[in-house]
Amino acid sequence: MSDDPFIKSLLTLIRAQDSSGAWETMSDEELLAPFIVTKEQRREIPIMGDPDPDILWRVELYYNAIAFAIEKATGCAASPIMKIHHEGWGRMLLTCGKLVVVNSYLRDLHRFGFDDVASMSTKATKIIAEAAAVIAKFPEVAAA
Amino acid sequence: MSDDPFIKSLLTLIRAQDSSGAWETMSDEELLAPFIVTKEQRREIPIMGDPDPDILWRVELYYNAIAFAIEKATGCAASPIMKIHHEGWGRMLLTCGKLVVVNSYLRDLHRFGFDDVASMSTKATKIIAEAAAVIAKFPEVAAA
């Protein structure tokens, strides 16, 4: 798990927010645990009311780690902008220069999570690869 | 004033939100009045605390009217995304396809407003022209 560059970035970003030192004794697995929501668990989470702010914080961390990986892979700094309605749906953009490299529509964020760490990384890696392909296609826009 | 295409779009968008009919008897000047904040008034508005939600609503309307005008001028539908911290600063993007056509950093939104209707329109028209120029430069990205 610690070899996966996306998971490494995500853990770096999570630990960077540990301003009180409370998570220093926690293992990587413990820090990633809230990102893992199995299909069965997901089905049991109601999508009524507002999702927990901690979930929105995890969504931001997840996309920030993607932005970080895009910058590592392409050299283009990716800047995130997320607009989430309090009921748990919205939109997340990552931009490099004048180029939109990731455009995700999000919904039912109450249930945000992944089956396991491997599938979280697979999904992120796919988004990162697509962003790198868009940058390779329009390099002058990404630099604009 | 009613000849100005930007001001016309803005008034259309404002009146479209009048679900109760309360503004039907109001003149265009009355509807635009909250957008006008003179330099003297601006100086007197404290930038402590959170700006009034009505101000953020006006900022959204202003940029929606710009998006509307960009679509009219270029045929490319511009999609807005605004992320504002509750203390009154943030970022506003308009995107066409994969192209960022407007990228505005906003601050001190407590004082959002323009010296007069003419200068509001001049500023918006400049943003619209810049967006149209970016679209003309990268048409395949705007269509992506």
Q: Of the candidates B93, B97, B101, which has its C-beta nearest A81's C-beta?
A: B93
Q: Residue A4's pLDDT is what?
A: 85
Confidence label for B125 from pLDDT (cuts 50, 70 and 90): very high
Measured at the CA of B50, the angle between CA B15 and CA A92, to 5 degrees, comes to: 70
Are B76 and B95 contacting, i.e. CB atoms less than 8 angstroms apart? no
CA distance B7 to chain A (A): 27
Confidence label for B126 from pLDDT (cuts 50, 70 and 90): very high
Q: Residue A2's pLDDT is what?
A: 60
By percentage, how much of chain B surpasses pLDDT 90? Answer: 82
- ipTM, two decimals: 0.85
Average pLDDT over residues B84-104: 94
Q: Could you report how far apart the first and last alpha carbons of chain B are, in Å?
A: 36
Which 8-state DSSP code applies to residue A52? P
Instruction: Say whether A24 sits in a helix, a strand or coil.
Output: coil
* CATH number, domain with residue B51: 1.10.3100.20
Reduced DSSP (H G I as helix, E B as strand, rest coil) percent helix, strand, coil of chain B, to 5: 55, 15, 30
Q: Of the candidates A83, A100, A134, which has its C-beta nearest B95's C-beta?
A: A100
Instruction: Say whether A74 sits in a helix, a strand or coil.
Output: helix
CA distance A127 to chain B (A): 15
Q: Which domain holds residue A77?
A: 5-142
Find, in chain B, the residue whose alpha carbon is nearest to that of A91: B81
pLDDT, chain B, mean: 93
Q: Over its length of 144 residues, how does chain A's per-residue pLDDT go in tens digits?
A: 567 889 999 999 999 998 888 899 999 999 999 999 999 999 999 888 899 889 999 999 999 999 999 999 999 999 999 999 888 899 999 999 999 999 999 999 999 999 999 999 999 999 999 999 999 999 999 998
Residue B32 CB contacts under 8 Å (≥ 6 apart), including other chains: B7, B10, B11, B117, B120
CA distance B31 to chain A (A): 27
Q: How many domains does chain B have?
A: 1
pLDDT beyond 60 at B1: no
Spell out which residues of chain B touch residue A103, defining contact as CB-CB under 8 Å: 95, 98
Contact A82 B83 (CB under 8 A): yes
User: For chain B, what's the residue count?
Assistant: 144
Confidence label for B97 from pLDDT (cuts 50, 70 and 90): very high
Q: Residue B48's pLDDT is what?
A: 86
pLDDT beyond 90 at B60: yes
**Residue labelled with tokens 């962003």:** A131
Residue A74 CB contacts under 8 Å (≥ 6 apart), including other chains: A96, A131, A132, A135, A136, A142
Residue ranges of chain B whose CB lies within 8 Å of a chain A CB: 81-83, 91, 93, 95, 97-101, 103, 134, 138, 140-141, 144
Give Cα A8 to chain centroid, integer Å.
12
Q: Residue B2's pLDDT is what?
A: 60
Q: How far apart are CA B125 and CA B5, in angstroms?
A: 9
**Residue labelled with tokens 């600063």:** B89
Q: Residue A1's pLDDT is what?
A: 57
Q: Residue A101's pLDDT is what?
A: 97
Average pLDDT over residues B37-60: 91
Spell out which residues of chain A touch residue B98, defining contact as CB-CB under 8 Å: 99-101, 103, 134, 138, 141
What is the DSSP code string of B22-65?
A: TTTTS-HHHHHGGGB--HHHHHHS--SSPPPHHHHHHHHHHHHH
Find, in chain A, the residue whose alpha carbon is nearest to that of B79: A91
What phi and psi, each to the nearest 5 degrees, are found at residue A106?
Answer: -115, 145
CA distance B47 to chain A (A): 23
